[in-house]
Amino acid sequence: MLRRRFIAFLSGASVLSLLPLAQAHTPYRQWKVMRERFLLVHSYRTDLQTDVLADRIVATFDALLPKAQARVARARDAERVGSLITTQQAMLAVMSRSDAIDLYNADNGFRGFDKHAIRAIGERDAYVLISSNVFPEHHAWLVAAAVFDHANSDGKTLEEPGASLPIPLHQGASNYLQGLPLDALE
């Protein structure tokens, strides 16, 4: 009888010792595959207007760039999106203008982030579509072509960023706006 209790105790202890490992598990491989397979446009829950604009951008991509298989990826807050963009785990995100400027300057809630690691692609009202500074030029050209030329009942998806935005325009978007063909980038 004591032997059975001892064996039960050991097996229970071994299972309990594995619980912290099971709780710490992250689906890293799945997220890596997601980022490679789909064009993710990040937004955040603390500002639901980022989500509305991200949905609109994804609808534009679905219409004009169906092979991109665009999806909206929702983070909990702007700091999480900033972390993903500056560590090159994410390539595109919609942020409020003030959050994007703070991220670019590594100010306020973004202290310690990689300063100047983002580029602007377009804006609408008080929101900016940003990209990582390593987002490929030809991809940014295609994104710019889609969001600047596509219009629906609400008008264009995005406009060219204004001169008052201190975040530099992505080179691929700049090339598109200057009329350079996609072939010139490759």
Q: What CATH number corresponds to the domain at position 73?
A: 3.40.190.10
The model scores a pTM over 0.85: no
Domain count, the chain: 1
Domain annotation covers residue 134? yes
User: Token match 């890293």: residue?
Assistant: 28
Express each pLDDT in 114-153 by its tens digit: 999 999 999 999 999 999 999 999 999 999 999 998 776 6
Identify the helix (H) or strand (E) that includes residue 85.
Answer: helix 78-86
Domain annotation covers residue 14? no
- Per-residue pLDDT tens digits of the chain, which is 186 residues long: 566 665 555 555 554 444 444 433 345 566 566 666 789 999 999 999 999 999 999 999 999 999 999 999 999 999 999 999 999 999 999 999 999 999 999 999 999 999 999 999 999 999 999 999 999 999 999 999 999 987 766 778 889 998 899 999 999 999 999 999 988 766
| 3 state DSSP class of 175 | helix
Rounded to the nearest 10 degrees, what angle do helices 48-64 and 137-149 cross at?
Answer: 100
| Domain of 159, in residue numbers | 28-185
- Closest by CA to 125, choosing from 50, 46, 44, is 50
Domain annotation covers residue 12? no
